[in-house]
Every structure is written in structure tokens, then in C-alpha cells.
């Protein structure tokens, strides 16, 4: 039996973080957490590229362009979509989630979905180091695990 479990993996590689400025008090914390966790894994500054975009809707296009460069082994996407009074939330969530999923499958690269989609600001705050953990740090952990797994599968 072969079991592939890379949850404790500790490798470094070029990684891009695409982070949206909308709800910046949340997304900046997500980004800081992702960078902190990557550095705990041993990543150096020159292995991490951070790209800011206006809002979550803009994440997929920039992620796709970064994937096309083939410079990165993983791309972490970070954003905060918070429900308002209109249906705008639904359209933003759909565009960013569908877009990120398509890029991962079309370009064979892990696109880590660290975009919060919450009912309110409080729920978002609970996910940047509150009672629901830190989704930026978790996104960094997922990137490392996925790259380890893909390396094992493609070059066993
Ligand atoms: N963008 C977000 O990242 N989060 C939101 O909560 C949000 N809301 O609620 O409107 C949001 N809208 C902007 C959107 O991502 C685009 O930047 C805009 O529609 C221009 O394309």
C-alpha cells in the first residue's frame, strides 16, 4: 500500500499571492498570515510575489496571467467577499470561485482558494486569527502540501 500524505511537508518554491484590496482590513491580515506561515516553512522573500488587485472579481484574470508565466508552482488567492443588501455578493462569489477553479485545472497549478465569503464582517474577523483559525495561514499550508503532492505524483 502506498499512502501519500504530505500534510507535514516542508519545501520551498516560487509562489505568488494574489490578494484583493476590497475589505483591506481583512485581506491585509490574510496576506500577512500567509507570508508569515510561508516564512515559517523556510521560504525566502525572493520566492514570494505578492500582487494586489482591486476586488475579488479581478483575482482570476491576474491569477491566470501569473499561471501563464510558469514562474510559480502555486498561486494563493486571498480576498474577502462580505454579504451586503443586494445580490452583488452572489455574482462576485461565483466569478472568483469558478475562475480560480478553472485556472487550476487548465494550467495544472494549485490555485489555493483563500477568499472568504461571509455573511458579515464578524464572520470574516473570526477567520483571520479568531475562533475559526487563520485562513491566510491555512492557505499557505495548503499550497505547500499541494506542491509536495503534485511533485510526488508527477516525479515519484
Ligand atoms: N469585492 C470584494 O472583494 N469583496 C466584496 O465584498 C465586494 N462587494 O461586496 O461588492 C467586492 N466588489 C468589487 C468587485 O470585486 C470588483 O472589484 C468590482 O465589481 C469591479 O469589477
Residue 77 has pLDDT above 80, yes or no: yes
pLDDT at 136: 98
Q: What is the pLDDT of residues 7-50, one digit of tens each?
A: 888 899 999 999 999 999 999 999 999 999 999 999 999 999 99
For the chain, give every domain's residue range. Answer: 15-154
Cα of 56 vs centre of ligand 1, distance in Å, is 6
How would CATH label the architecture of 15-154?
3-Layer(aba) Sandwich (3.40)
As a whole number, mean pLDDT of residues 130-152 equals: 97
Point out the residues that are catalytic: 88
Q: Is the pTM of this model over 0.85?
A: yes
Q: Ligand 1 pocket test: which of 21, 57, 120 has the largest number of ligand atoms within 8 Å of its C-beta?
A: 57
Ligand 1 atom nearest the C-alpha of 57 is: 15
Ramachandran angles phi, psi of 112, nearest 5°: -80, 130
pLDDT at 100: 98
Amino acid at each position: 500500500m502506498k499512502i501519500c500524505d504530505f500534510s507535514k511537508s516542508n519545501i520551498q518554491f516560487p509562489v505568488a499571492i494574489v490578494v484583493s484590496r476590497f475589505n483591506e482590513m481583512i485581506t491585509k491580515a490574510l496576506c500577512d498570515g500567509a507570508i508569515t506561515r510561508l516564512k515559517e516553512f523556510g521560504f525566502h522573500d525572493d520566492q514570494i510575489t505578492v500582487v494586489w488587485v482591486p476586488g475579488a472579481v479581478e483575482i482570476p484574470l491576474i491569477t491566470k496571467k501569473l499561471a501563464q508565466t510558469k514562474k510559480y508552482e502555486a498561486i494563493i488567492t486571498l480576498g474577502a467577499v462580505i454579504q451586503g443588501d443586494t445580490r452583488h455578493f452572489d455574482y462576485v462569489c461565483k466569478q472568483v470561485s469558478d475562475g480560480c477553479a478553472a485556472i487550476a485545472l487548465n494550467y495544472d497549478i494549485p490555485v489555493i482558494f483563500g477568499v472568504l465569503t461571509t455573511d458579515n464582517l464578524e464572520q470574516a474577523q473570526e477567520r483571520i486569527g479568531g475562533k475559526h483559525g487563520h485562513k491566510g495561514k491555512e492557505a499557505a499550508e495548503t499550497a505547500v502540501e499541494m506542491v509536495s503532492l503534485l511533485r510526488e505524483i508527477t516525479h515519484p
